[in-house]
Chain A
């Protein structure tokens, strides 16, 4: 579905990525984990084409459709949840009638159908995040980029988000998930990449969770890197 080849990126003097190679197969959930500032959100922005200041290549399948939910999605506070989705649909050129039908379907998809007529300003953080995912689902994307979808959510909210991601995966969506919540990642991810810094980076997949928790893997990687003077 998507391959990242020899990607290098700098912010001024600071090197974020150095000849990074990643591979994302379709129909899987990938997690990007790592400390703040490791470049996870930057990587998402590069995939989306919003940051073009890099070396290397991001190669996607032809006609791939992308969906994105930012960490703190902005929504017009004066609109209801369903109106927000209708708004984005109409911005894309969907006619009003179809936008209403489609937005109602998406609200149901993310479990917000009972709150579709509630103003966004009255939404809880968890509801906003799910609305963000619904917004990302507009246009039936092949690849979904979810930036910290569970950040700041209570336990119940996190469970709801896990269920939603599982449901989208079952529909065959490819998902790249940027998260700090390791237990969350263990529940939903098939594989992923751990970024520590430019020099410390590793791939992991689901089979490894059975032997070692992500937290242990994270600590071991950090410790190893520290011993070698790389972190």
Chain B
């Protein structure tokens, strides 16, 4: 499976997309830092915190979209190009192919997310930020894992749905997920039965805003309670289970 994933990375991690995402991430970082004409020297702490918080929020949303774009059509393409059969002949079963594609998508999304945050990393290192090395690494890891998790979810969707539908669902997943608590709050405040039902149904969507809050709390060394971390780990475990079961199904039905 190593060679299979390596080829997947080689195919999807092109120089152009890296440069594009690097520039995009850099622009967002710089715009957010300069938008309020804030200088670090005489800036109140709250504003710096708010600025870094916005950085993580925007970068997470962009990383989410990147994960959708990367993963929305890979399985359909694999099927269309009839790659599966020759690979089966060379002893790579469908279960491992499905796992390889999902893992490959997650890795590509995480790499692109890392590239998106390159300028932010420079700012953290050279301009200073209210964090520590451990805090930054933990935050960065949760940011990357969120993108990887989204890529896994979108990959599973592409097993059952065409890429156009997956693209729409993926974008909705990112938008609704990024404002999960706000939307859920609005629905609950509505007071009507339908609102309460929809608020419950929303729980199946990953609360990206909670994951982002976890990232920020790790970054700002404010990580106290483990609730956000538990929610994050539960969704991660659920996602991995679904990917694993989908791969098993592909192997059993001999069809991706």
Residues on A lying within 8 angstroms of B by beta carbon are 48, 50, 66-68, 70, 73-74, 76, 78-79, 87-88, 90-93, 135, 138-139
Contact = CB atoms under 8 A, between A and B. Distances in A.
A92 B88 CA distance: 10
Interface of B: 2-4, 7, 10-11, 81-83, 85-92, 254
A48 B85 CA distance: 10
Contacts of B82: 70, 74
B85 A87 contact: no
Contacts of B89: 48, 66-68
Contacts of A79: 7
Contact of A92 (B10, B81, B83, B91): B91
B91 A93 contact: yes
Contact of B86 (A74, A78, A90, A93): A74
A90 B92 CA distance: 10
A130 to B, nearest CB: 16
A88 B86 contact: yes
A87 B81 contact: no
B93 to A, nearest CB: 11
**Which one of A73, A78, A88 has the greatest number of beta carbons of chain B within 10 Å?**
A88
A4 B222 CA distance: 71
B90 A138 contact: yes
Given A70-B82, A73-B86, A88-B86, A78 B91 contact: no
B3 A87 contact: yes
Contact of B3 (A50, A73, A90): A90
A92 B85 contact: no
Contacts of A93: 91
A68 B91 contact: no
B212 to A, nearest CB: 35
Given A68-B86, A70-B82, A70-B86, A91 B92 contact: yes
Nearest to A76: B7
Contacts of A90: 2-3
B91 A91 contact: yes
Nearest to A50: B85
A57 to B, nearest CB: 20
